[in-house]
Amino acid sequence: MSDEVLMHLSSNSNPSDSNLPIKIAKLEARMAGKATSSTPVQSTSSTWQSSSSVKFGRPEELSEPSTSSDSDNDNGEEFLIQANTQKRQRTQEDESKACQLSEACCCCFHIFIFLMTGTTDVKVKIAETAEVRLTTDGSSKSKQGRGRGRSGTGRGVDQRTMIHCVFLAVQHLQSTSSVEETPLLRDKVASLEEELNKSRQESIRQQQLCCQLEKELKDLKEHDRQMKMKRIKVLSDLLIAVSKAERQEARIKTQQESMRLGNVGVIRAGTIVSETWEDGQALKDINSHLRFLLETKEAIERHRKTLRKRQSDKGDGSDELVISEEDFLIQDEICKSRLASIKREEESSMRERDRYEVEKGRLIREMKRIRDEDGSRFNSFQILNNRYALMNLLGKGGFSEVYKAFDLVDYRYVACKLHGLNPQWSEEKKKSYIRHATREYDIHKTLVHPHIVRLWDIFEIDHDTFCTVLEYCNGKDLDAVLKATPILPEREARIIIVQIFQGLVYLNKRPQKIIHYDLKPGNVLFDEVGIAKLTDFGLSKIVEDDVGSQGVELTSQGAGTYWYLPPECFECSKTPLISSKVDVWSAGVILYQMLFGKRPFGHDQSQERILREATIVNARKVEFPSRPAVSNEVKELIRRCLTYNQVERPDVLTLAQDPYLSYAKK
Ligand SMILES: Nc1ncnc2c1ncn2[C@@H]1O[C@H](COP(=O)(O)OP(=O)(O)OP(=O)(O)O)[C@@H](O)[C@H]1O
């Protein structure tokens, strides 16, 4: 089939051809015996358009076209119109068929070219041809579509049209392929088949390779898993060995220390058994030496008295033991010198005894720790959550045990805080505890700052126990530091309070400010290089934005450690409103304690007595001891922190501006 033919068919079949009505009109006129020249195109068109409203005669009359040429005859005209209309319908049907055929041919041609050349724009043409057909013949397709209950202009028609075109094209190809085309096509098919075979083989090869790789991957994963298990085993064995050695060393040391410093003894009084402390040899020795010095001192004082008496009696001559003035002076000087020497010895022994007392305190804490460790259900080096290898107990709090542990995933030491719910507790109490701990976790997990202990993880161990995983702080806590050395040099105290305030500033610059509420030396930890970090957010309060400067309601009144809490926390008449100024007061107490070795208010009082005697409620003014001498700047800072009236006391951000807390060069 030539292009020309196709073009011809295509152009003839185009229903949008504007000359078509004229051609039809001419044809109709000729058939009706009318001169084409005398019939305006427009009038023919309007007659055709109004044909539906025309009254028709009998059907047999309709089939008999009139031969009359009289254009003025109405009946004849009616028949003429009917005949023309029927003809036009037939012509339209013919045109439509021609159109379809033309499109099919067009499609066939494009598909044929595509098959022969593989040119993609021809493929596009096929699609376009189908598309044109769809749009030009849209109404009839639409009707067909509706007849089948589907949208006539949808994709389905498009595809159906395409398939139809391809079908026609193939039919056409089958019918029109010339003898010369067949070998060409056969070659093409053969080469395509060859390619297909090759592709199939390649696909099989790739599949085999894929299987092989999958197997290798599986083996590698298994190997990796085994290696990981081995690594964990080796690592945990090592950790256990180290922990065991540390435990043994700690127990041996404690035994030796307790010989020197003392031990816990048991006293029975009837059926009541109580524990008491018995000093060790070193303390006994130092105490007896101090007693000896005291006795010596008293003896010397007695001797001096006698000398004075003998010297004063010399006038009456009654006593033979009267001494001369010079002898008296010499003897007295000997006594004074001896007393001074005893005093020095006494002071040194007292210092030594204080040191022993500190060591004794440490020993008692260590003994308690060992006892807690021995009694703990987590003391057998368990691996928690397949990740945290427990080592030794660091300490025990009110409701928790803190273990040093090793994180087998991130390869670092951590502190695992095991929160145990007492099985005897009521469900209500358990719920309250979990709520409290969850709150602490929710607050703490968002805090990322060098002066705040990080909270890494939380997980449940069993129904009554869960664990929080904290950054491990290798150093002591400030409480232990102050027990070992109750007074710190001002320089050391300053750098600690600066770090505490840096942590507090961070808590107060967040979108949701946080009041720590439980700042005390035990909640300031040190890492191995001595960086101070705040911990324990169990009593913390979140300050919502809308509370403004008034503060938040203190709903947990009674909690906390009273030495470190400001007067507003003891307000009884109404629910106190608190703010970050609570932490400012606590920081002031800590700073005072570091400098003077005691707390400014109620140092020797128990918690219960502080409450009963309203010690803090009456803590209106802070007094400074004369020794050790400290700078006026630090005294002023403490005064500001311990401002009695909450309204007048500066908040964290204001106080952090104090020049004493800045190391920037002026
Ligand atoms: N992140 C940590 N790194 C190292 N030691 C820690 C860490 N957290 C706590 N400890 C130590 O574990 C011990 C117990 O801590 P915990 O917070 O349970 O006790 P507490 O604060 O004395 O008690 P409570 O929480 O009931 O007030 C303390 O000696 C503390 O120094």
Whether residue 240 lies inside any domain: the answer is yes
Q: Give the H or E element holding residue 393.
A: strand 388-396
Q: Ligand 1 mean position to 196 CA, how many Å?
A: 73
Residue nearest to atom 12 of ligand 1 (CA): 395
Query: What would the mean pLDDT of 31-53 be, rounded to a whole number?
Result: 38
Q: How many residues does the chain have?
A: 666
Question: When comparing pLDDT for 596 and 182, which is higher?
Answer: 596
Examine the domain organization and report whether 515 and 407 are in the same domain.
Answer: no
Residue 232 has pLDDT above 70, yes or no: yes
Tokens of 148: 């089948």
Lowest-confidence pick of 83-87, 630-634, 646-650: 83-87
Q: Out of 137, 457, 477, 518, which one is annotated catalytic?
A: 518
Examine the domain organization and report whether 559 and 636 are in the same domain.
Answer: yes
Examine the domain organization and report whether 402 and 544 are in the same domain.
Answer: no
Lowest-confidence pick of 76-90, 183-197, 573-587: 76-90
Question: When comparing pLDDT for 172 and 399, which is higher?
Answer: 399
Examine the domain organization and report whether 413 and 346 are in the same domain.
Answer: no
Whether residue 521 lies inside any domain: the answer is yes
Based on its alpha-carbon atoms, the radius of gyration of the chain, rounded to whole angstroms, reads 53
Examine the domain organization and report whether 539 and 635 are in the same domain.
Answer: yes
Q: What is the pLDDT of residues 319-342, one digit of tens each?
A: 566 778 888 889 899 999 999 999
Torsion of CA 627, 628, 631, 632, to 10 degrees: -20
Whether residue 621 lies inside any domain: the answer is yes
Q: Ligand 1 mean position to 531 CA, how many Å?
A: 16
How far apart CA 326 and CA 507 sit, in angstroms, is: 75
Question: When comparing pLDDT for 180 and 31, which is higher?
Answer: 180
Examine the domain organization and report whether 623 and 536 are in the same domain.
Answer: yes
Examine the domain organization and report whether 486 and 593 are in the same domain.
Answer: yes
Q: Is 398 in the pocket of ligand 1 (CB under 6 A)?
A: yes
Contact 250, 352 (CB under 8 A): no
Residue nearest to atom 1 of ligand 1 (CA): 472
Greatest mean pLDDT among 48-52, 104-108, 342-346, 616-620: 342-346
Examine the domain organization and report whether 456 and 547 are in the same domain.
Answer: no
Q: Ligand 1 mean position to 419 CA, how many Å?
A: 12
| Domain with 232 in it | 223-265+276-309+329-374
Residue nearest to atom 16 of ligand 1 (CA): 397
Angle (CA) 542-547-548 rounded to 5° is: 115
- Residue 637: band (very low, low, confident or very high) from pLDDT cuts 50, 70, 90: very high
* Amino acid making up residue 385: N
The structural domain count of the chain equals 3
Whether residue 320 lies inside any domain: the answer is no
Whether residue 100 lies inside any domain: the answer is no
Examine the domain organization and report whether 531 and 632 are in the same domain.
Answer: yes
Last residue of a domain, one of 471, 504, 526: 471
Whether residue 207 lies inside any domain: the answer is no
Specify the pLDDT at position 559: 65
DSSP state of 575: P
Last residue of a domain, one of 431, 447, 471: 471
Query: What would the mean pLDDT of 448-467 be, rounded to a whole number?
Result: 91
Specify the pLDDT at position 567: 92
Which of 655, 594, 599, 595 has the alpha carbon at shortest distance from 622?
Answer: 599
Residue 133 has pLDDT above 80, yes or no: no
Alpha helices in 262-324 (DSSP H): 281-312
Whether residue 113 lies inside any domain: the answer is no
Whether residue 496 lies inside any domain: the answer is yes
Q: Ligand 1 mean position to 589 CA, how many Å?
A: 20
Specify the pLDDT at position 196: 95
Specify the pLDDT at position 552: 63
Task: Give the mean pLDDT of the chain.
Answer: 78
Atom of ligand 1 nearest to the CA of 400: 18
Examine the domain organization and report whether 527 and 606 are in the same domain.
Answer: yes
Provide the angle, in degrees to the nearest 10, between the axes of the packed helices 120-136 and 155-176.
120
> From the annotation, which residues make up the binding site for ATP?
417
CATH number at residue 393: 3.30.200.20
Examine the domain organization and report whether 494 and 558 are in the same domain.
Answer: yes
Specify the pLDDT at position 554: 60
Q: Give the H or E element holding residue 278.
A: strand 272-279
Specify the pLDDT at position 169: 57
Alpha helices in 64-180 (DSSP H): 74-117, 120-136, 138-147, 155-176
Specify the pLDDT at position 553: 60
* Amino acid making up residue 59: P
Lowest-confidence pick of 277-291, 442-456, 550-564: 550-564
CATH number at residue 525: 1.10.510.10
Query: What would the mean pLDDT of 274-292 be, rounded to a whole number?
Result: 91
Burial of 63: CB neighbours in 10 Å, binned 0-12, 13-18, 19+: exposed
Specify the pLDDT at position 443: 81
Query: What would the mean pLDDT of 537-547 be, rounded to a whole number?
Result: 74
Examine the domain organization and report whether 505 and 462 are in the same domain.
Answer: no
What is the percent of the chain where pLDDT is above 90? 45
How far apart CA 207 and CA 513 sit, in angstroms, is: 60
Q: Is 453 in the pocket of ligand 1 (CB under 6 A)?
A: yes
Q: Is 395 in the pocket of ligand 1 (CB under 6 A)?
A: yes
- Residue 89: band (very low, low, confident or very high) from pLDDT cuts 50, 70, 90: low
Which of 366, 363, 345, 343 has the alpha carbon at shortest distance from 355?
Answer: 363
Q: What is the pLDDT of residues 184-229, one digit of tens each?
A: 899 999 999 999 999 999 999 999 999 999 999 999 999 999 998 8
Q: Is 397 in the pocket of ligand 1 (CB under 6 A)?
A: yes
The string of DSSP letters for 602-642 reads STTS-HHHHHHTTTTTT--S----SSS---HHHHHHHHHHT
Atom of ligand 1 nearest to the CA of 471: 1
Residue 518 annotated among the catalytic residues of the structure: yes
Pocket mutation for ligand 1, best pick of 376, 526, 536, 561 (most atoms within 8 Å of C-beta) = 536
Last residue of a domain, one of 339, 356, 374: 374
Query: What would the mean pLDDT of 563-587 be, rounded to a whole number?
Result: 87
Residue nearest to atom 21 of ligand 1 (CA): 397
Burial of 86: CB neighbours in 10 Å, binned 0-12, 13-18, 19+: middle
Question: When comparing pLDDT for 599 and 274, which is higher?
Answer: 599
What is the percent of the chain where pLDDT is above 70? 69
Q: Ligand 1 mean position to 221 CA, how many Å?
A: 40
Alpha helices in 148-180 (DSSP H): 155-176
Q: Is 415 in the pocket of ligand 1 (CB under 6 A)?
A: yes
